[in-house]
Structures are given as structure tokens and as C-alpha cells.
Structure 1
Amino acid sequence: MTTRRLTVAQALVAFLAHQHTERDGRRQRLIAATWGIFGHGNVAGIGQALVESGTGPGAPMPYYQGRNEQAMVHAAVGYARQSRRLSAHAVTTSIGPGATNLVTGAALATINRLPVLLLPGDSFATRPADPVLQQLETAYAGDVSVNDALRPVSRYFDRVTRPEALIPAALQAMRVLADPAETGAVTLALPQDVQAEAYDWPEDFFADRVWRVARPRPDRRDLDSAVHAVAAARRPLLVAGGGVHHSEAEEALAAFVDATGIPVASTQAGKGSLPYDHPCDVGAIGHTGTAAANDLARGADLVIGVGTRWSDFTTASSTLFQNPAVRFLNLNVTSFDAHKMAGLSVVADARAALAELTGDLAARHPGVRVPDAYAREYGEGKARWERLVDAAYEPRRPGEADLRPTQAQVLGALDALVTEDDILINAAGSLPGDLHKLWRTRGSDQYHVEYGYSCMGYEIPAAIGVAMAAPGRPVWALVGDGTYLMNPTEIVTAVQENVPIKVVILQNHGYASIGGLSEAVGAERFGTAYRLRAVDGTYTGAPLPVDLAANAASLGLRVIRARTVHDLREALAEARWSDVPTGVYVETETADTVSGAPPAQAWWDVPVAQTADRPSAIKAREEYERQVAARRRHL
């Protein structure tokens, strides 16, 4: 047997360069690049291996330099989502704080079912220096390291304590990354001494390997039950989740609803499954949803979930679907999600399941469609909501274009500018709610809001990853001041790599979203404003004298300041055509005012103090008890 003598790290890099996925006859790299920040736990291992492999354009394993470990994972996740989960990035860090900084990003990846390979350094397997710098010591176990914190947020975890153990560990890691039902964060913890240890590797370990991403077809009996349920429904509603995009099932979905007339509501991850102007698209569902979609949800007798994991925002904390006869039909590649809501489950690829469901309906129930009255009802509801969007987007009074914009008017200015080529990225604050309700999605991959973990600081690094996966397309990172301050550092990376992302920074002097929620639950916006302390010790003084535009510029971003709605339109247009990383800074209405979007159209369960002295909390508890009475278990 032919062998090749390499270190463990060298062997891993060489192995990763030969892994591919294939779906529908299209092949691509499974691990397209590696992000890394080096310290003593990986500099002589993975770091040396990347240099040994080759650097610069055309290198077997391209390398990107990050500034923050969590942000590197966010960039990798953005790349994976834009790549429909068929290609991913690896992230390597040193031991200690570098490794633990991965935990938040790993949780985000796993919750959102998106692949990323994590390669943290680990303390010595042979323990010649114990404890080594940054090593965690525990009195009850000698084999625990900080990397064990990654176990609960990883879909697969292994610690490679011997060179020969890399072979099964690496193969298992690739299996999970390429499996649409199992994917998420995968962690291979690499002790720093093992990384540098040499071994004679079988040459076959480095051969090109293709991981076929199958499209599992539905079970015949499950499909028969689904056909019967759809044909019998009088007020069906389809809820499109992220699985529609991951499966590239948008055309199959359109064919199904064109044939049946069933309206489609979307989750945050599923928005864009139909273009906003499709007659069956009724917009967003749940707490951040539209009145059109949520009104249909309350009366639906059959809810068809396609590729959704049914989060509490989507279900309005189990208060939204109020028809006593409502039943659920779930099409999902993951059995765990397919069986939620006590639904009739069809465990299959979304595109394959929708295509077969459409064909079987046509064959067994020719011409089956929703009643005409139902189609008129949701069409009129959609039209009413579009008028609300128009009102939120446009200045309503003479001279208002010369005033500071609301957050909704910022979105309106962007809406008037973009085409289906543009990609919008957001994750946290009040923007996800406004975007979900208001944004008019034109292309299937235009809307990129991470709301599984809603991680502040995701937007800028994710925009870099998305731009790498979609070169030449305008990529917008929309951030409020709160999320900007969490993680602006990857602006430096965008400048270094000349990735021409567009960063829109909205300054509203606080945590606007949580401030509104705080007020609603009787906590009086406590601790949510970015203001100086007043004489009484509260944060009610003047806004903090910070200049986020100057901060972004100091990191290398070209920044355009916009003071009015009119300025904003010009600034956004200039940024869109810029070929360098560019930011637009605008001060919107403060955190003490509404964003300009319609209020929530469904309730969300945030427990309120059961006993309190302050009138605001007492009133909020009364409203909570009224709302929670509508909660139900779907059995």
C-alpha cells in the first residue's frame, strides 16, 4: 500500500482539499476555504500545514484571515447558506479563548441547520506540559478541555488524540456536513502535539471523494395520506421554511400552488420562496408576520409546513392556529422536524416531495383547487397589507423627505433601489421584524435574515461569506447601533480582501427592539437606551456622544453620511455601485419611538412578573393572562 508521510495537520488539509459534494449532477468543493486566527495551539499545526500546502490564488486550500473567532464562523455560515449547504468553510483557532469564542457561532450554525467545520486546537494529548498555557484544569476529570463546551452545539464532535484516529474522524465529519438531515457545526478538536506528529498515511485517504447529496423521496403511504389531506381541505395554508431554499424547491413550490391556489406564508428562513408579487404569496407568518398571513392561519383547517422547524415565533407561541379542526402536514427532510405539531409527516426532500404531491393530486383529484371565495379572501388581504407597506415606506407629509427617516423609510429607500440581484443580510434587533413584515422579496436568495439564533454581530461577517459565494452581486449588511457595536471587526477583513459589501448602519441610540418588548412586559425599557446617566442614576440623559460612522471609517470602510430621507436615497445608490467596502450611516428615529412598521400581528409568549408593585407590570400581567389563555397543544 502506497503511503505518504505527513503531519496530522498536513494530512487533514490535504484530505479536505479533495472532498466534494454532488447534487443533481453538479459537483463542488465541500470545504472551499479555511478561516483562521493562529496561536500556540494551532500555529505549528494547521498554520504550518496551510503554508506547506501553498498560498495565494489557486492554492489547494484557500485561507482567509479573520479578526474574531465568532465572526469567522458567521462568515462561514453566510457562505454555506448562500451555497445552499452544498459547500462550506472550515475555521481553525488556538486553544483557550480562541476555541471558546467559537461556541456562539457553532450554536448559530447548528440551530439553523447550516454546515461549518470547526478545527480548534486542544491541550496536549501526551501532557508533557500540564497545564499548558490557556488550559482548563478540572479536579474531577483529566480529559476535559474547554472544547467540550462545543459538544452540545455541534452535530458531530471528536477529539483526535492519535494520528490514525484522524481517518475515521475526518470521514464522519464530512458525512455529517454533507447530510441535509444532519448538518450543522462539526467539531474536530486537535491537540497541539498531535497536529504536529508525523504518520504514514494511506494514499487513498487523499483521493478525490464525492459525497452525493440525495433527494430522498416520500414514502408511498405517507404521500397517499398527504394527497387525501390536501384534497379534503377547504382553507389550507402552506408555510414555507428555510428547507425550500436549501432544497432549491422554489419552482416546485410555485408549480404546486399554481395548480391548487393554496396561499403561501413564509418564515424568516423561508421568505422569498415565492416572489412577493406572486398571487399566492401572503407574506410573513407569526409574531413578525403580516395581517394577511396571520388571519389565514387563525382559520386554516390544514397547515402544510414545508422545510420549517416550527419555532415559537412562527407559531406565535402556540396561539396562532385557532381552528378547532386544524391539522398539520409536514414535508421535511429531517424526521425530527417533520413530526412536530403532531403533524402528518412526509420525511423527504422538499423539492421531491412537492413534485410528487403535485403530480399525485393532478392524477387522483383532477382540477382540485381552493374555493374561489377563499382565493378572493386572501387576495384582498394581501392587497390591504401592500397598502400598509406603501404607507410605511414613503414619506407621508410635505417636507418629510428632508427629515430624519424612520427605520421603515430606510427599508423603503432600499426597496426602491434594489433588483433581484441584491442580497440583504440581517439577524437581530427590530430590523428582522420590520423586514419580515415589509420587505418585498424579488429573488429566491435575496432575503438572508438569520433568525434561528438571532445573533447580534452576525451581519457584517456573514455578508463577507455571502459575497464570497455570490461574487459580483450587491450584498447589504443592515445593522443597528447595538449589533454594530457587538462585532464591527470584520470590516477590516472586508477591506483586506476587497470584498465590496455595503453596510447600512442605523443609529437609534439603543436596543430598540428589546426596548419595545421591555415596555410591553412592564419593564419600562430598563437598560435598553444608549444614554448618559441622569442625576437620578437612570440612563435617561443625553444620547451617548459616539460616532459610529467615524469608527467604521477608522477600520477602513468608506462611509457616506445621510441625514434625511433624500440624502439616504442618494447615499444608498452611491454605495450600491461602489467597488470597495462602503457604509451608509443614518440616524433614524430614536429607540423611544416606533420604527414606522405596523405593530405585531400575533402574540409572542414572554413571561411577565406574576407579582409586582409597579402599575406597568401589573397591567402587562393582565394582558399576558388574557393572551396565554389562547395557547393550545396540537395533538
Structure 2
Amino acid sequence: MISVGEALVAQLSERGVDCVFGIPGVHTIELYRGLAASGIRHVTPRHEQGAGFMADGYARVSGKPGVAFVITGPGLTNTLTAIGQGRADSVPMLVISGVNTLPSLGKGRGHLHELPDQRAMARTVALVSERVESADDLAPMLARVFGPFDSGRPGPTHLEIPLDIAGAPYTAEALAPSHPAPPTPSDDQIADAVALLAQSKAPVILAGGGARRAGNALRTLAEKLGAPVVQTVNARGLMFEHPLGVPASPSLQAVRRLIDQSDVVLAVGTELGPTDYDMYATGTMPRMQRMIRVDLCPDQLARQPAELSILGDAAAAIDALNTAIDASAAPDGPERATKTRREAVEEIGPEMRALCDVLAEMRTAVPGAIIVGDSAQPIYAGNLYYDHDRPGGWFNAATGFGALGYGIPAAIGAALAAPDTPVICIAGDGGAQFSLPELMCAVQENLPICFMIWNNHGYQEIATSMQDAGVSVVGCDPTPPDFAAVAQSCGLPFWRCGPEPDAVAKALRAATGKGGPTLIEIQAQPFLRQ
């Protein structure tokens, strides 16, 4: 007879889970009992926050939920930041934790790793948090925590298994995994949308992360309508070098003008959040006339008024529109897109343009790479304006929840999800120090990741914000380590270069030819005199 922990692993495997990120502890030993024989790959991060970020990166690239095993108490609290990032970006990830024995819960007797109410804490961040209280609970609780991955807007979920249950005999029957289809747009809603779009002389499409797996259909729709496609950060790569593509932040005035001058706005798979649409915190959003909004989440649809709200999967809605639309394209769509791109590039200024030039040279040096970012100057620039050559291949934590330390572990998860694809991680020297030990995880797994550290000796973005607010700059100059010595200690091939585009590209070409993980330090101009 198998245990509940062994049954858990078996049922995860049946649901297609092939990789788990976790650090074993005394409160998760029973979850590991069946792992070695299951065929599921186990990856050991150096911190539970890293486990969560790895699960995030894995999920974004694979399209499957990323799974993390963490211990009771501090294991789960350490993972909460990653859960928050996943919640903000609608990333399907499952965190499975231990919890103290059922009779001890809520008693406050000082047990190891005890929290007053661990599940209630998780529920403040996760979409769903459930507990297995008997062998009979395992299958239905798994169904509940997997439920948001198959229907509605995805996000992180949590399952906890008490110590006295994990090792108990499993006497229940497993439920066959179900995969309900996401909501499908109604024929009437599609017909109403087609009628609005047919009247449009200057349509525009706003594409968010929810559309990132519908690239071909989105391009077809844009061409049928003659509509420029503005791509938020998580949608970059969908319209690479397309005449109708606008790979620029809708917070820029140039892009706001495009949206304002459009007579119908089709917003697909975007939450219209301020970190994309009002990153300068003006308190205003672009004016959107006759908006048609498509989203998986009814709560999201209710948060922003629209002339027509369509509940459904972005890809399904785009396919339905393509089938139904029989209208001539607005003739000036490419012209409007070109004008917006030109004005957006001018608007971001010379410093950001120089950083965008670095990104463009990186793209040329390693075409088709997945670029994962932390909050760092090149990432800020790219989020303002950058056209990537791979759908879903540009993502970072500089929008939404905005967690520092994301880049290095998320890149590890991405590399595990796409083992034949080069992965580039861009992190600042400050953010890298949040998760620098995870470099050894990449070494241990021999992953083809080039870690690029933009070293300007501090938190430049925060220092600039403090100066702009008239506040004396304090605490923004954490001394970075000797990255050459870090690389040597980890056994990583190392390059150091200046911030010039050709120098960065040369180092990157050399580094990505090595096969395993590598480290490049880009010596940028320090923002403060040292």
C-alpha cells in the first residue's frame, strides 16, 4: 500500500507534471518518498523564493503549471513573494507545502515551523489554498488547486498536507484528471464585435500576455482590420518586425495618441494595469473609445468599463473574429503604426535609446533566445520600447508585482522548460544579489543560460527617483561583489565588457557558444561617485 505522499507524486505525474522545484526538509520528507521512482525531475534551488521564481519561469515558457515543494512555515513564507509575482502576471504555478499535524493546528504551542493559520496566510496571495485532511481529500483537493489552470484566468495556487497525513496509507481511489475547456466567446458577442469593427476607420489592438500564444492569428486579424497592435511587456514578440506592430509601452505619449485617435479599441488578454498603461503614475489612462474587451476573467472585465465585454480565451476569440470578419482593412494602419514607433523611439530619450540598441544587438547575436529580466536599466528600456523575435520570449519582473531577485531563478525555470533554446538573463548588480546563490543551481543542472549582470554599482532607478523627489539619496549604493571571483567560485566561464552594443554582442556570442551556464559582467557607468 502506498502513502498519501506517494499518491500525490503519482497523481501529479498523471497530470503531466515532469519537473518539481524544491528544497527537502523534515516536514516534506513524506512528499519525497515516491519522487525518485516517478520520473519527475527534481531541481534543488538554494532558497524557497528561488523555487517559486523557477516555477514561474518554467510555467511561462512551457505553458504548463510550475510546481514547487516547500516546507511548513518559513518555506512557505519564503515563497510568498514568488506567489505574488505569479498572481500579478497570471502565471499557473502550484506550491505544495507541509503543515503541522492536524491536532496541533491553531493551538500556538510552539511546534517547529508553526504559524497561527498557514492556509489563511496563503489565501491572501494565492488564487486557491486547500488542505488535505484525509486520504480521501487528496484527489478532490488536487482537482481544486489545478482548476484555475484550465479555466478562467490562471495564477498561483497552494496545497498543504499535514505531517500526520502525508505518511498515512492511501486508501482512496484517484480521480481521473479533468481538463475543462476555457470559456468560449458566444456567437452573439462575436457578431457584435464584428459589427463595431466593420464601422471602424481607425482601429487599434491592445495585446496583453493573455494573447501571447495566439501570434499567427493575431497577425492575421491585424492585417484584416489594418489595425496597429500595441504590445504590453508580456506580449512582446507577437508582431516582430511587422508593419502593424507597435512594441512600445502604452504609457508613452506617442502610443497614447495612437489609442486616443482610434475609433475602436480591441483589448485582448490585457488587464489594463497601470504598470503597463500608466507607469509614470499620472493617475490617468489612455482614452479608449468604443472599447471591445476580451478576457478570461469576469472580475477583470468588470473592473474596466467597455462598450462590449467578451468573456473567453484570447486565442479562441481571435480565431472567431478572423472567421467572421469580411471587411476591408483600414488603409492607413501601417502608416499610423510607423508614425507611433518613430515618435515613441524619440520620446524615450538618448539614454534609453542607447540601452535599446544594446538589446537589439543582443537579439542579433543570439536570435530566438528567451530573455528573462530583473529590474535593471536595460529591462526598463526594453519595456518602454523593444521588439523581440520570439513570442513569449521577453518577460521580467519590472512590471506588475515588481519583485527584485526574479531574473536568475526564473531564467533557470525557463531553461528547464525549453532545453534546446538559449536563455539570457539580464539582472542589475543590486537585484542579482537577491538571488546570486541560484547560479549554482544552473551549474548543477548544466543549463544553457548566459547570466548578464548590468553593474552600475547600485540601485540607479531608486536613486534617480529619490533625487527627483528632492530626497537625499540614502541606501542606494550596496557594494557589489567581485563578479569575476563569483564566476570562478561557481565554475562559470566569465567575460567582462563595457556597455557599448558591439562589446556586449561580442561577449554574448562568445558566452553562448559554451553550452552550459556563463556569466558576463557589463561595466556600466556608476550612478554615484564611489
TM norm structure 1: 0.77
In 2, the alpha carbon distance for the partners of 1:242 and 1:70 equals: 23
Moved more, 213-222 or 277-286: 213-222
Q: 1:382 aligns with which of 341, 344, 360?
A: 341
Residue 77 (structure 1) aligns with: 56
Amino acid at match of 2:217: A
- Could you tell me whether the CA contact under 8 Å between 1:425 and 1:463 is conserved in 2? yes
Matched position secondary structure for 1:76:
helix
Within-5 A mapping of 1:314-325 = 314-316=276-278, 319-322=284-287
- Written as runs of structure 1 = structure 2, the 5 A alignment for 1:384-533 is 385=344, 407-408=355-356, 410-419=358-367, 421-450=368-397, 451-530=399-478
Question: What residue identity is the alignment partner of 1:156?
Answer: V
Distance in 1 separating the partners of 2:392 and 2:153: 22
CA distance in 2 between counterparts of 1:73 and 1:476 reads 19
SS in 1 for 2:53: helix
Question: How far apart are residue 459 of structure 1 and its match?
Answer: 0.9
**Given the superposition, is the C-alpha separation of residues 231 and 310 from structure 1 closer, same or farther in structure 2, using an over 3 Å criterion?**
same
Report the number of matched residues.
Answer: 521
Aligned in 2, Cα 1:106/1:265: closer, same or farther, shift over 3 Å? same
Tell me the TM-score normalised to structure 2 length: 0.91
Q: Is 1:331 paired with 2:294? A: yes
Deviation at 1:268, TM superposition (A): 0.9
1:126-525 alignment to 2 at 5 Å? 126-127=103-104, 130-136=109-115, 144-179=116-151, 181-202=152-173, 205=174, 209-212=176-179, 214=181, 216-245=183-212, 248-275=213-240, 277-287=241-251, 289=252, 292-316=254-278, 319-322=284-287, 326-343=289-306, 344-362=308-326, 366-367=327-328, 369-372=329-332, 375-383=334-342, 385=344, 407-408=355-356, 410-419=358-367, 421-450=368-397, 451-525=399-473
Q: Which amino acid aligns with 1:15?
A: Q
1:577 maps to 513
**1:300–1:321 CA contact under 8 A, matched in 2:** no
Amino acid at match of 1:327: R
Partner of 1:628: none
Deviation at 1:392, TM superposition (A): 6.3
Matched, 1:46 2:31: yes
Whether 1:8 aligns to 2:7 is no
C-alpha deviation, 1:286, in angstroms? 2.8
Q: 1: CA distance between counterparts of 2:129 and 2:6?
A: 20
TM-superposed CA distance for 1:424, in Å, is 0.5
Q: Which amino acid aligns with 1:583?
A: L
Shift of 1:375: 4.5
Deviation at 1:425, TM superposition (A): 0.5
Separation in 1, partners of 2:226, 2:528 = 42
Q: How far apart are 1:97 and its partner, in Å?
A: 1.2
CA distance in 1, matches of 2:162, 2:112: 13
Match for residue 91 of structure 2? 114
Aligned twin of 2:81:
104
Q: Which amino acid aligns with 2:225?
A: T
Structure 1 unaligned blocks of 5 or more:
20-28, 137-143, 395-405, 531-543, 594-635
The CA distance in 2 between the partners of 1:167 and 1:437, in whole Å, is 45
Distance 2:11 2:499 in 1: 54
**What is the CA deviation profile of residues 140-188 of structure 1, one whole-angstrom value per residue up to 9, with x for unaligned ones?**
xxxx333432111111111222222223212222223333x14211111
- In structure 2, the gaps of 5 or more residues are none
- 1:545 shift after superposition: 6.7
Shift in Å, 1:588: 0.6
RMSD: 2.6
Matched position secondary structure for 1:190: strand
CA contact (8 A) 2:430 2:480 kept: no
The 1-side partners of 2:11 and 2:402 are apart by 34
**1:330–1:338 Cα contact (<8 Å) kept:** yes
Rate the CA distance shift 1:215–1:10 in 2: closer, same or farther, 3 A: closer
- 1:609 corresponds to: none
Supply the distance in 2 between the matched residues of 1:71 and 1:430 (Cα, whole angstroms). 22
CA distance in 2, matches of 1:552, 1:517: 32
CA 1:106/1:320 → structure 2, altered by over 3 Å: closer, same or farther? Answer: closer
Structure 1 residues 185 and 418, CA gap change in structure 2 (3 angstroms): same
**Contact 2:52 2:83 (8 Å CA) reproduced:** yes
Match of 2:19 among 6, 17, 33: 33
Q: Is the 8 A contact 1:155 1:182 kept in 2?
A: no
Contact 1:118 1:187 in 2 (8 A): yes
Q: Which deviations, in whole Å up to 9, do the C-alpha atoms of 1:184-223 show, x marking residues without a partner?
A: 1111111112111123232xx17xx454352533123322
Which residue type is aligned with residue 281 of structure 1? G
The residue identity in structure 2 corresponding to 1:580 is G
Q: Secondary structure at the match of 1:198?
A: coil
1:354 partner letter: I
| Corresponding position of 2:13 | 17
CA distance 1:215–1:182, shift in 2 (3 Å): closer
Percentage of identical aligned residues = 26
Match of 2:484 in 1: 549
Q: CA deviation at 1:429?
A: 3.5
Are positions 1:92 and 2:37 aligned together? no
Per mean C-alpha deviation after superposition, the further-off stretch among 144-153 and 248-257 is 144-153
1:617 is matched with: none
The alignment status of 1:65 with 2:44, answered yes or no, reads yes
Match of residue 139 from structure 1: none
Corresponding position of 2:496: 561
Amino acid at match of 1:160: V
Distance 1:271 1:426 in 2: 13
Contact 1:156 1:185 (8 Å CA) reproduced? yes
**Which letter does structure 1 place at the counterpart of 2:317?**
A
SS in 1 for 2:33: helix
Contact kept, 8 Å, 2:18 with 2:41, in 1: the verdict is yes
- AA aligned to 1:311 is G
The 1:272/1:512 distance shift into structure 2, 3 A limit, reads same
Is the partner of 2:310 in helix, strand or coil? strand
CA shift, 1:279, in A, is: 0.6
Equivalent AA in structure 2 for residue 250 of structure 1: G
User: Which amino acid is 1:256 matched to?
Assistant: L
Larger CA Rg, structure 1 vs 2? 1
